[in-house]
Amino acid sequence: MAMGKLRRVSKELGAGRNYFNIAKAKARFKELRRPDDEWQQMNAEWAAIQASGRHVLQSSDLVVGYDEPLFIADDIKLQRGSCAALIGPNGAGKTTFLRTLLDEVPPIAGTIQLGHGVRIGYFAQAHETLDPAQRVIEAVRNQPRQPNQPPLDDAAARNHLARYLFRGDEVFKPIVVLSGGERGRLALALLALQGANFLLLDEPTNHLDLPAQEVLQAMLEGYDGTILLIAHDRYLVAQLATEIWDLRDGYLTIFHGDYAEFVSHAQEATPKA
């Protein structure tokens, strides 16, 4: 087994069977890219977006759930340009809330309303919005864009995919065979095309290594719209969030302030023993 690995490494470094040039091998080795460096090579960018109205999302007396309530919410008034981080334990109803915003699950009670000109873009936690029967380039060509914008042709689709490291024959890969990292890159490529001014992000850093998380954070920091972020990644929340939506014990509490202020407020509110 060890000899097999040596042969594969030697072949990749360009070593011949009869002659092994150390200097050339070192040069080739320096050119090799670690798998987790791939994301650092991305040249991702958002499509131009049209600004929404000032009030992006509002609710009143909202109760979210299926047949039975999962939680009651403070009245929401999310303003354009904000980043709200929805935090709380698993099973509390965070993803159900996003599905309510997507009009897939009606509220049990109360009202919820999107503002004028709001266009939603959704990043699903398990990338279940991707069609496994499609090929990568088909997904990009079929991606709905802003009104009055035609679908991308093959050349434009390939140029866009190259920004997300799909090059050459990789654009013809069936989505069903993509790795988790490749699915994440494709999901971002599709999201960036939509021209959405309100992003719903469900655990976007799941299964991403540190370099990938850094690239994603930089993308979101450069985004001009409004964000609702579900994340257990407290570093990402601390870097991006302008308000914290704390969902626990059947109630959604809106805190207007960043994560550091939220933590400080929670510590002050905790009764001392």
Q: What is the pLDDT of residue 211?
A: 75
| Contact call for residues 142 and 219 (beta carbons, < 8 A) | no
Amino acid at 94: K
Residue 24 has pLDDT above 80, yes or no: no
Residue 52 has pLDDT above 80, yes or no: yes
Q: What is the pLDDT of residue 9?
A: 45
Average pLDDT over residues 64-75: 94
Average pLDDT over residues 211-240: 89
Euclidean distance between CA atoms 254 and 244, whole angstroms: 6
Residue where the block lists tokens 């997300």: 164
72-86 pLDDT, tens per residue? 999 999 999 999 999
Residue 43 has pLDDT above 90, yes or no: no
Task: Name which residue leads in pLDDT, 39 or 174.
Answer: 174
For residue 85, give the nearest of 202, 230, 257 by alpha carbon: 230
101 pLDDT band (50/70/90 cuts)?
A: very high
124 pLDDT band (50/70/90 cuts)?
A: confident
Q: What is the pLDDT of residue 110?
A: 97
Max CA-CA distance within the chain?
Answer: 78
For residue 137, give the nearest of 124, 123, 152 by alpha carbon: 152
43 contacts: CB under 8 Å, gap ≥ 6: 162, 163
The three-state DSSP-derived secondary structure of the chain is: CHHHHHHHHHHHHCCCCCCCCHHHHHHHHHHCCCHHHHHHHCCCCCCCCCCCCCEEEEEEEEEEECCCEEEEECCCEEECCCEEEEECCCCCCHHHHHHHHCCCCCCCEEEEEECCCCCEEEECCCCCCCCCCCEHHHHHHCCCCCCCCCCCCHHHHHHHHHHCCCCHHHHHCEHHHCCHHHHHHHHHHHHHHCCCCEEEEECCCCCCCHHHHHHHHHHHHCCCCEEEEECCCHHHHHHHCCEEEEEECCEEEEECCCHHHHHHHHHHHCCCC
| Contact call for residues 241 and 258 (beta carbons, < 8 A) | yes
Over its C-alpha atoms, the chain yields an Rg (Å, rounded) of: 23
For residue 227, give the nearest of 109, 105, 131, 101 by alpha carbon: 101
Which numeric CATH code is attached to 40-269?
3.40.50.300
The domain ranges of the chain are 2-32, 40-269
Residue 117 has pLDDT above 50, yes or no: yes
178-194 pLDDT, tens per residue? 988 888 889 889 998 98
